[in-house]
């Protein structure tokens, strides 16, 4: 899939996360390598992000967003646990 501004092939899981990030950050053009906090994300938006990901049955905590602030790093972390 090439659903981000850099036309990098991404997995279905990364695409799902990308859609959630677009909703939370209210930004249509994001990449899996963009940093959540550099895009204006803060602790309140991180909490919203975690809640939405948990609704999709992903095991993610707030600290995971701080430790893995890109979709690519977060998906990799989740898949390794």
pLDDT digits (tens, 9 = 90+) for 52-64: 999 999 999 999 9
In this prediction, residue 7 has a pLDDT band, given cuts at 50, 70 and 90, of low
Report the number of distinct structural domains present in the chain: 1
Can you give the C-alpha Rg of the chain in angstroms?
11
**75 within a domain of the structure (yes/no):** yes
Residue 1 has pLDDT above 80, yes or no: no
Domain that holds residue 64: 13-80
- Which region, left, alpha or beta, applies to residue 35 given φ > 0 means left and ψ of -120 to 50 means alpha? beta
CATH of the domain at 57: 1.10.1200.10
Q: Over the chain, what is the mean pLDDT?
A: 91
Half-sphere exposure of 17 (CA within 13 A, CB side): 26
Indicate whether 55 belongs to any domain. Answer: yes
Residue at token pair 């992903």: 58
Confidence (pLDDT) at 2: 43
User: Is 37 part of a structural domain of the chain?
Assistant: yes
pTM: 0.85
pLDDT > 90 fraction of the chain, expressed in percent and rounded: 86
């Amino acid at each position: 899939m090439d659903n981000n501004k850099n036309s990098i092939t991404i997995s279905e899981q990364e695409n799902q996360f990308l859609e959630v990030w677009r909703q939370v950050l209210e930004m249509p053009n994001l990449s899996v390598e963009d940093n959540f906090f550099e895009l204006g994300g803060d602790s309140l938006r991180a909490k919203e992000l975690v809640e939405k990901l948990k609704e999709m049955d992903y095991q993610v905590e707030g600290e995971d967003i701080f430790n893995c602030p890109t979709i690519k790093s977060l998906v990799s972390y989740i898949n390794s646990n």
